Amino acid sequence: MSTAPPIDGEAPLRLRRSQPMSPYAKARLANWGLRLLPWLTIVAVWYAIRGFGLVSPGLLPLPQDIAATAWARLLDGELPRHILASTGRVLAGVAIGTAIAIPVGFALGRYATARLTLDPLINFFRALPPIALVPLVIVYLGIGEAAKVFVLSFSAFFAAVIVLYEGIAQMPPIYGHVARTLGANQSEIFRKLVLPYALPHILTALRVALGVTWATLVAAELVAAQAGLGAMIQMAASFFQLDVIYVGIIMIGLTALSMDHALRRLSRRLLSWQERVPS
Amino acid sequence: MTVPSSLVFDGVSVAYDTPDGPITALGNVSLTINKGEFVAVVGPSGCGKTTLLKLAAGLLQPTTGRVTLDGQPIGAPGPERGVIFQEYGIFPWLTVEQNIGFGLELSANRVSEAERAEIVERYLDLMGLRDFRKAFPKALSGGMKQRVALARAYAVRPRVLLMDEPFGALDAQTRLAMQDLLLQVLEREGTTGLLITHAVEEALYLASRVVVISARPGRIKAVIDVPFPFPRTHHHLANEEFARLKGELTELVMEEYAAQSRLSLASQS
């Protein structure tokens, strides 16, 4: 029949279209705005510096010039090659450094004897800037890939080990008491208590190690690198290609940012039990 | 289900060295907790009542004397002696049901998968935690956390239950509800137990015998048999005899509290 009333779902559907934005959507939009704000500010300040002539144009390329350089290098395959080389080295450095830091951090966090013997040693080496090691690394490891990965692993190890050590040392003794009174032996205490307790600290250690390793990258690629963002920056420096230097810096930042973002997502999934959900 | 059993402290003392010289925490305590008996120990804080529990748990060794369970000297901690701590100590990375089943997955009390599931179900029911089985501890109230801890301790079928101020961190109503729950569980499981508390009323409500520990070095000052039959209910709390005993016990504890305070002051100056 043509006079049939409209079915129930129709009216609200039509209504919803004209409704104002939901508070949730508004909050999301506001969050994105807040996230973008500092970047937009940086770009605005950049243009302002050029606009007011505070720096001679030859010393500060415009953002669109940098973008054009990045685009060109992306298309000719140069930029991806450098990004891949650096990312590979950083990942290798973080993997090796953290893999060694986990057992050492556990030992330091759990055993007073290990603390007594190793603590001064670790703090001695931790204070050394990786760039100071570069000449020695060249002498002993040559100028190959091993030298670069060594410098990166060095930074990753010392960053990760402190986070792990402090985290594990803070495990409340009550967990151990409970487990022992339920009949747990040493290996069970390690597998069922220390390991799950340490997981958030391992993930934090990975994040810190990633950051520090990216920060060390340029120093590591001082060692006769043919590829890598650090190498790209140094080559550009010798030819005074400021736009390429800016591209390199921005790419290091962006790659580090996306890796950190991925790790944070992983943490949130693995650590839903935590009181404070890592943001 | 737990197997009834007897816990004996025989001339036990504990001394340890501090920078200010040796301190005797516990001085020559002898106490027998018979099979199926639930004994409460009260005393001022710092008198060594928790030391008594640590000895029974095996977390501490006596300087002199010995502690035995069914004639066997107590060495390291073990699943036959369940311990409930004031701060719960439930594992935040495990769900409620995983916490309850934790002990059953240890090699010391390995049971089949089916048996573990059955025991966990039983205690989820008994403790009223069924709706929260998949919840992580962060979502639980203090009272629920303590129920998880109780279920976890019971799941490995301890011969004695040792409780250190188990309800001290709970609000008054939750505390009362937990005391009733404990009475029910004790009734059903018939566990031998030692309860450390500073609350005289709690001791009288839950225990068949109350032991008063003196100021440091902790000795047994008095033992009071609680005349009320089990099962007990809130009505006992309003009982005249209950009030009289509570007054008597409070007086005993307060004398020791004063003595302990003088000790603490002396050690500070």
User: In chain A, which residues have their Cβ closer than 8 Å to the Cβ of B111?
Assistant: none
Residue at a domain's end among B130, B157, B184: B157
pLDDT of residue B53: 93
Q: Work out the pLDDT band at B231, boundaries 50, 70, 90.
A: confident
Q: Minimum mean pLDDT among A251-260, B55-64, B185-194: which range?
A: B185-194
Instruction: Indicate the residue of A183, A272, A273 with minimum beta-carbon distance to B108.
Output: A183
Residue B254 lies in a domain: yes
A183–B87: do the CB atoms touch at under 8 Å?
no
- Alpha-carbon distance B48 to A102, whole Å? 39
Domain of B69: which CATH number? 3.40.50.300
Sequence letter at residue A103? P
Residue B76 lies in a domain: yes
Q: Is the sign of the CA dihedral A93, A95, A98, A103 positive or negative? A: negative
B153–A182: do the CB atoms touch at under 8 Å?
yes
Residue B1 lies in a domain: no
Residue at a domain's end among B157, B180, B214: B157
| Same-domain status, B140 and B24 | no
User: In chain A, which residues have their Cβ closer than 8 Å to the Cβ of B77?
Assistant: 177, 180-181, 183
- Does A115 touch chain B if contact means CB atoms closer than 8 Å? no
Residue B85 lies in a domain: no
| Same-domain status, B51 and B121 | no
| Same-domain status, B168 and B242 | yes
Instruction: Indicate the residue of A175, A181, A188 with minimum beta-carbon distance to B107.
Output: A188
Instruction: Indicate the residue of B82, B87, B107 with minimum beta-carbon distance to A181.
Output: B82
Select the more confidently predicted residue: B17 or A5. Answer: B17
Q: Work out the pLDDT band at A7, boundaries 50, 70, 90.
A: very low
Average pLDDT on B113-128 reads: 92
| Same-domain status, B105 and B49 | no
Percent of chain B with pLDDT over 90: 54
Instruction: Indicate the residue of B77, B93, B137 with minimum beta-carbon distance to A180.
Output: B77
- CA angle, B137 then B139 then B143, to 5°: 70
Task: Write out pLDDT tens, residues B140-177.
Answer: 998 899 999 999 999 998 989 999 999 888 888 888 88
pLDDT of residue B1: 44
SS3 content of chain A, % helix, strand, coil (to 5): 80, 0, 20
B152–A182: do the CB atoms touch at under 8 Å?
yes
Residue at a domain's end among B140, B157, B174: B157
For residues A203 and A267, is the Cβ–Cβ distance under 8 A?
yes
Q: Work out the pLDDT band at A73, boundaries 50, 70, 90.
A: very high
For residues B77 and B58, is the Cβ–Cβ distance under 8 A?
yes
Pairing between β-strand B220-225 and β-strand B209-213 as defined by DSSP bridges = antiparallel
Q: Which residue of A171, A174, A180, A181 is the best one to mutate when testing the B interface, meaning the one whose CB has the most B CBs within 10 A?
A: A181
Task: Report phi then psi at A273, rounded to 5.
Answer: -75, -15
CB atoms within 10 A of CB B22: 9
| Same-domain status, B167 and B66 | yes
| Same-domain status, B72 and B106 | no
Question: How far A162 CA sits from the closest chain B CA (Å)?
Answer: 23
CA-nearest residue to B109 within chain A is A183
Residue B86 lies in a domain: no
Task: Write out pLDDT tens, residues A8-49.
Answer: 444 444 455 556 778 888 888 888 999 999 999 999 999 999
Residue B100 lies in a domain: yes
In the A/B pair of chains, how many CB contacts fall below 8 A? 81
Average pLDDT on B203-214 reads: 93
| Same-domain status, B152 and B167 | no
| Owning domain of residue B98 | 91-157
Q: Work out the pLDDT band at A276, boundaries 50, 70, 90.
A: low
| Same-domain status, B164 and B64 | yes
Residue B2 lies in a domain: no
All domains in chain A, ordered by first residue: 64-270 (1.10.3720.10)
Instruction: Indicate the residue of A174, A183, A184 with minimum beta-carbon distance to B87.
Output: A174
| Same-domain status, B163 and B260 | yes
Q: Kindly tell me if the per-residue pLDDT of A4 is higher than 60.
A: no
| Same-domain status, B144 and B32 | no
- Alpha-carbon distance B207 to A177, whole Å? 25
Q: Work out the pLDDT band at B267, boundaries 50, 70, 90.
A: low
pTM summary value: 0.79
- Alpha-carbon distance B28 to B37, whole Å? 22
- CA angle, B200 then B204 then B205, to 5°: 115
pLDDT of residue B230: 82
| Same-domain status, B198 and B259 | yes
| Same-domain status, B112 and B36 | no
Question: How far A191 CA sits from the closest chain B CA (Å)?
Answer: 11
ipTM: 0.87
Residue B127 lies in a domain: yes
Q: Work out the pLDDT band at B36, boundaries 50, 70, 90.
A: confident
Q: Work out the pLDDT band at A260, boundaries 50, 70, 90.
A: very high
Count structural domains, chain B.
Answer: 2
Name the token pair of A12: 């609200």
Average pLDDT on B234-249 reads: 88
